[in-house]
Amino acid sequence: MILAPALPAADGMGDMPTELKPISELLRDPSLTEIMVNGPDAIYVERGGRILLTDRRFEDENQLMTAIDALVSSVGGRLKAGESVLEARLPDGSRMTVVLPPVAVDGPMVTIRRFSATPYEIGDLIRFGTLSVEAAAFLQACVRARVNLLISGGSSSGKTTLLNGLASCIAGDERIVTIEEAAELRLQQDHICRLESLPGSERAVSLRQLVRHAVRMRPDRLIVGEVRGGEALDMLQAMNTGHEGAMTTIHANSPRDALARLETLVLMAGIELPVRAIRQQIPGRDRRQG
């Protein structure tokens, strides 16, 4: 089940319920990118790419469940009997995943993915040392030249941060359509249409459907937060049929692996295509392979 408020609250998390006292300071700490509650006495955070055990504790599982209820209530939801997994977008835009027994073998768990209140732009990535001045200039030129971009990397490697930074280079007068499972991108241009698939909810729409709908929305730029299934085919077709300058990310350990994984994801669309035909849709792919 997925819950999401219509709009994030203007004041972030606002006044927090007393039930959240053990983690209230963590929820307000802008330096944290992840809060991981593995049980009442095992609360971890991620700061600067490092996972750290905190000294915060809930008294017991009952207090933890009360806190989970408070978090779910903050987005207008409620825990239903027999429900073991729940995802929600909190009022400050953070993404929360709750896993309960019996799925969670050792007791209730909560993971909260935090996002920067101020989205990083390309200049920030230079300042942090993520990109050199030369690399940033090259990527900016690619964006302005409407080159299709595929950003690859492992989990928590900064793919979405880089995607947001590159997308911030898109001209303000372009119509941008973004497609994500859970809205994470925070672009500042005026003409933005954000689509969210809400997987697992009664209102769920597949990423494939959203990509197809987005193409009909007259986008100047098409941005898919991450391709992880058959929507890779629709994304490639869009890139090759007049929607240049599209961007997306993919989980892979190297550029070569990213291209191989892209082929695999296209095959997940369920359409029988020879590998050679798929490679012809990917610019730069060695078509002599296979």
Beta bridge partners of 96: 88, 112
| pLDDT tens digits along 91-136 | 887 889 999 999 999 999 999 998 777 788 999 999 989 999 999 9
How many Å apart are CA 42 and CA 158, to the nearest integer? 26
CB 288 within 8 A of CB 280: no
| pLDDT tens digits along 173-207 | 999 999 998 888 999 999 999 999 877 666 778 99
| pLDDT tens digits along 26-63 | 998 988 999 999 999 999 999 988 999 999 999 999 99
Q: How many CB atoms lie within 10 A of CB 102?
A: 6
pTM: 0.78
User: Could you state, in order of their start, the residue ranges of all structural domains in the chain?
Assistant: 2-113, 122-279
Looking at the domain covering 122-279, what would its CATH class be?
alpha beta
Among candidate residues 151, 183, 161, 187, the one with its CA nearest the CA of residue 172: 187
Choices 3.50.50.60, 1.20.120.80, 3.40.250.10, 3.30.450.370: CATH for 2-113: 3.30.450.370
Angle (CA) 227 231 233, round 5°: 105
CB 56 within 8 A of CB 22: yes
CA atoms within 13 A on the CB side of 82: 0
- Amino acid 1: pLDDT: 47
Mean pLDDT of the chain: 87
Q: Is the pLDDT of residue 89 over 80?
A: yes
Topology match between the domains 2-113 and 122-279:
no
